[in-house]
C-alpha cells in the first residue's frame, strides 16, 4: 500500500541510490536502469549506502531526523540499529559510527551490537575501498589496522588542514587522496615502514572539491568538472552543478560520474547528468 504522506523516498538503481529527503536529492553508488522504490514514514536526515564489493550487495541505512537514530532497510521494512551519533559511514566492508565523545564503533552483523574500535578523540571519520580513517581535532589522520584500538598515523601537518579526503580503487588496491584548505591535492604514497607519505598532484587553487569511486578520481571548480589522470593532468569533461557523485559497479572495477543540475525536468527540479563513463 502506498502512503501518500511519506517524507522519505529512495529509488535504488541497481547500486545507484537517489534519495529524496525533504527536498534534498542525493545520488550514490550506481549503474544501469531498473528502479525499485523504497518507502519510509519518517523524515530522514543522513543516508548511508554500503556497497559490499566482495559480495556485490548494497544495503541502505538512514537516520531519523527527529531522533538521530539509525535504521537499516530490508524488504520487510526498516529496523532500528543505533541511537544517534555524530556521523555514520561505510567503507565498503562494514558500517561505522562516530559518537559525540569521539569513540568509533563498527556494526556487528552477527550480534547486532556496535564493537568499540577507537576509545575516543575522533573528530570525523572517512571510509572507502575497504579502508577506514579518522581525523583528530588537530587535523592529523589515522588509518584503521583492522584490530580494535590499533590505528596508524598517516598525516600530521596542521598547517595543511584537510578539507577533503576521498578513496578510490578497490579493496585489493585502495587509493587515498587528500585536498587541503588551499585546494592543493595529494595522493597517499606512504608505506608500512614509512606511513606518513604524500605526493602532490595539483597546486593550490586548482579545485574546490574532489570526488572518487572505483578506479576514478575527479575534481571540480566553480565552473567545470575534470577527470584526473595523474600529476598535473586533468581534462574538463563538463560544467559543474550543485553537487557531483561517482557511482561504482562491477565489484568496484568501473565507475561513472554524475552531476546534479537544476533543469526543471525531474523531481525537485533537478536531474543527474552523466558526464563520464569508464572505458
In a domain, 91, yes or no: no
In a domain, 241, yes or no: yes
Give the domain range for residue 213.
161-279
Q: Do 99 and 89 form a contact (C-beta atoms < 8 A)?
A: no
In a domain, 48, yes or no: no
So what's the pLDDT on residue 194? 96
In a domain, 80, yes or no: no
Q: How many domains does the chain have?
A: 1
In a domain, 268, yes or no: yes
In a domain, 135, yes or no: no
In a domain, 235, yes or no: yes
Q: How far apart are CA 27 and CA 19, in angstroms?
A: 7
In a domain, 73, yes or no: no
**Which residues are within 8 A (CB) of 256 and not within 5 positions of it... i.e. 6 or more apart?**
30, 31, 246, 247, 249, 274, 276, 277, 278
Burial grade of 116 (CB within 10 A; 0-12, 13-18, 19 or more): middle
How does pLDDT run along the chain (279 residues), one tens digit per residue? 223 333 444 444 444 444 444 433 334 444 443 445 567 777 778 878 776 666 767 788 888 889 999 999 888 888 999 999 999 998 878 999 999 999 999 999 889 999 999 999 999 999 888 899 999 998 899 999 999 999 999 999 876 778 788 888 777 788 999 999 888 999 999 999 999 999 999 999 899 888 887 678 888 888 888 889 999 999 988 777 666 666 655 555 656 666 666 554 444 444 555 554 443
Which residues lie across from 220 on neighbouring strands?
209, 225
Amino acid at each position: 500500500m502506498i502512503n501518500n504522506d511519506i517524507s522519505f523516498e529512495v529509488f535504488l538503481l541497481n547500486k545507484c541510490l537517489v534519495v529524496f529527503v525533504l527536498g534534498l536529492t542525493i545520488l550514490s553508488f550506481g549503474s544501469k536502469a531498473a528502479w525499485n522504490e523504497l518507502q519510509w514514514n519518517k523524515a530522514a536526515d543522513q543516508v548511508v549506502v554500503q556497497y559490499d564489493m566482495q559480495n556485490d550487495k548494497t544495503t541502505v541505512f538512514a537516520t531519523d531526523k527527529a531522533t538521530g537514530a539509525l535504521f537499516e532497510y530490508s524488504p520487510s521494512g526498516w529496523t532500528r540499529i543505533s541511537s544517534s551519533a555524530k556521523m555514520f559511514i561505510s567503507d565498503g566492508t562494514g558500517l561505522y559510527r562516530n559518537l559525540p565523545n569521539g569513540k568509533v564503533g563498527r556494526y556487528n552483523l552477527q550480534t547486532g551490537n556496535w564493537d568499540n574500535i577507537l576509545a575516543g578523540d575522533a573528530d570525523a571519520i572517512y571510509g572507502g575501498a575497504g579502508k577506514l580513517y579518522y581525523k583528530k581535532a588537530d587535523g592529523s589522520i589515522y588509518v584503521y589496522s583492522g584490530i580494535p584500538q590499533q590505528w596508524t598515523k598517516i598525516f600530521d601537518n596542521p598547517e595543511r588542514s584537510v578539507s577533503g579526503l576521498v578513496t578510490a580503487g578497490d579493496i585489493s588496491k585502495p587509493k587515498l587522496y587528500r585536498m587541503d584548505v588551499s585546494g592543493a591535492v595529494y595522493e597517499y604514497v606512504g608505506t608500512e615502514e614509512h606511513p606518513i607519505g604524500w605526493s602532490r598532484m595539483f597546486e593550490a587553487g586548482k579545485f574546490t572539491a574532489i570526488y572518487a569511486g572505483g578506479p576514478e578520481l575527479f575534481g571540480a571548480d566553480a565552473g567545470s568538472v575534470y577527470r584526473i589522470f595523474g600529476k598535473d593532468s586533468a581534462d574538463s569533461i563538463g560544467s559543474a552543478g550543485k553537487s557531483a557523485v561517482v557511482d561504482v559497479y562491477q565489484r568496484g572495477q568501473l565507475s561513472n560520474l554524475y552531476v546534479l543540475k537544476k533543469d526543471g525536468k525531474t523531481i525537485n527540479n533537478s536531474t543527474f547528468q552523466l558526464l563520464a563513463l569508464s572505458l
